[in-house]
Homo-oligomer: A and B are copies of this chain.
Amino acid sequence: MELIFEKSVANHRCTLLPKLDVPLYEIDKSVARDTPFDLPEIAEIDLVRHYTKLSKETFGIDDGFYPLGSCTMKYNPKINETVASLKGFTDISPISSPEDVQGALQVYYESEQVLCEVTGMDHISFQPGAGAHGEFSGLLIIKKYHQSRGDFNRNKIIIPDSAHGTNPASAAMNGFKVITIPSKDGLVDLDELDKVLDDTVAGLMLTNPNTLGLYDSGILEITKKVHSYGGLCYYDGANLNAIMGVCKPGAMGFDCIHLNLHKTFSTPHGGGGPGVGACGCRDFLYPFLMNPRIIKTNKNEYAFEESGLSVGKVTAFYGNFLIVVRTLTYLKHLGCNGLREVSDNAVLNANYLRVKLKDTFNVAFDKICMHEFVLDLSSYKEKYGIRAIDICKRMIDFDMHPPTMYFPLIVHEALMFEPTETEGKQTLDKVVEILKNIAIEAKSGSVDLTKAPYTKSYKRMDEVKAAREPILRYVHEK
């Protein structure tokens, strides 16, 4: 496809601004721009055609099954978009007086109330921009907590080897040393945990269900052990979709959490954001939660409040507000029964898919899973030379988005499926049929899967070239 620059024609342009109705001010020559200023020049019709075309080369949930594990690609209700585009939400300044933005504060306040009940936390801040940012913030709260007690020795964070890459990375951003512990049967190995626990441990990061889709039934022992050494327990809530109304991270012993609102709470993922990594904590950590916080006064008004012990701010204002608007819309729509129904069916769908596929592919840890499960395709690689990526690329030919590949790292040739609750049985049955056919193709070699996809505008990409000879911007050929 052509780039917008390649469609540019000198002096073409779009919408004109209102006429300048004040005297023209010209900037002083000494500071004026003296290098070419290169943006596309394009008429509205050509702009529209360009991005309309691009949009059609982009597969979204609206186009089909999208079981990207650990990402909760559920249906994005259109009502969310309508609400998020109300002028009363889009056209307000973050530095207005609180009295002028009571509605916005109410959105935060109500969302906090509901999500505290869902997670068993006492407070939530919506400032972080996405899950990883929530982790960064949550660990910082833990760091600040320890330091506030005069405990400056706690410089380690324990993370299981199955963890998402953002976990160790966020710990490192907080200056922590990352202690990785190996898993046993996909779960936390209590012995390994014991080995690394001491009074230099700031805390443990865990997601439960974990990235294998398994619920760690030892969770109470795990968190108890960490607590007994004075460490805190951080919950990566990316997988909350599995347990809403079933159990609360708070009850599992977690002190601090983040939630991926864009995942569990149905905001369209926008090609990779914006999201919200809402960061929640128990009462004793509240002093350290990000500033400002939103409270309800005894006059029933909403107001800001600051804490002197807070870790401060992680984004300039209050985070991705319009995503929280979508979240609240979704929460109000679903209500208590709806949320439970989500989790029941997210788990049901994953197990159904797992059971239907287990005779064809090897399930990494084949037992009742939560909202996702992982296939181990190493036998396909060994026997037929077909890798996980080949199966994925072939799925594309059948108008499905592939699952997450090669994650978690502890499974070889991993394919991680998360169907979510918004897919029906018919869709799953069709997916099973297609995957079984692909398996036959892999085994028989009737189709060369290493060359898939075959039916789309683009064939497989040369990723090595991209990294070796980086071209990261368009430069006019002269």
Check if A88 is an interface residue, CB within 8 A of chain B: no
Contact with B along A16-49 (1 / 0, CB 8 A): 0000000000000000000000000001111011
Asked, given contacts A12-B424, A424-B12, whether A64 binds B49 with beta carbons under 8 Å apart, the answer is yes
A64's nearest neighbour on chain B, judged by CB, is: B49
Which residues of B have CB within 8 Å of A75? Answer: 44-45, 48
A265–B52 CA distance with the chains assembled, in angstroms:
23
Shortest Cβ distance from A64 into chain B, in angstroms?
Answer: 6
Asked, given contacts A9-B424, A43-B424, A44-B75, whether A53 binds B63 with beta carbons under 8 Å apart, the answer is yes
Check if A422 is an interface residue, CB within 8 A of chain B: yes
A46 near B424: Cβ-Cβ < 8 Å:
yes
Task: Among B45, B49, B423, point to the contact of A45 (Cβ < 8 A).
Answer: B423
Which residues of B have CB within 8 Å of A44? Answer: 75, 77-78
Report which residue of A45, A62, A426 has the largest number of chain B beta carbons within 10 angstroms of its beta carbon.
A45
Contact with B along A63-104 (1 / 0, CB 8 A): 110000000000101100000000000000000000000000
Task: Among B49, B56, B62, B77, point to the contact of A49 (Cβ < 8 A).
Answer: B62
A422–B63 CA distance with the chains assembled, in angstroms:
31
Shortest Cβ distance from A257 into chain B, in angstroms?
Answer: 28
Asked, given contacts A9-B424, A424-B12, A426-B9, whether A52 binds B63 with beta carbons under 8 Å apart, the answer is yes
Shortest Cβ distance from A136 into chain B, in angstroms?
Answer: 33
A422 near B45: Cβ-Cβ < 8 Å:
yes
13 residue pairs from A and B, CB less than 8 Å apart: A12-B424, A43-B422, A43-B424, A44-B75, A44-B78, A45-B422, A45-B424, A46-B424, A49-B63, A49-B64, A52-B62, A52-B63, A56-B56
Taking A43-B424, A48-B78, A52-B62 as given, write out 20 further A-B residue pairs in contact, using a Cβ cutoff of 8 Å, ordered by the A residue number.
Answer: A9-B424, A9-B426, A12-B424, A43-B422, A44-B75, A44-B77, A44-B78, A45-B61, A45-B75, A45-B422, A45-B423, A45-B424, A46-B427, A48-B75, A49-B62, A49-B63, A49-B64, A52-B63, A53-B63, A56-B56
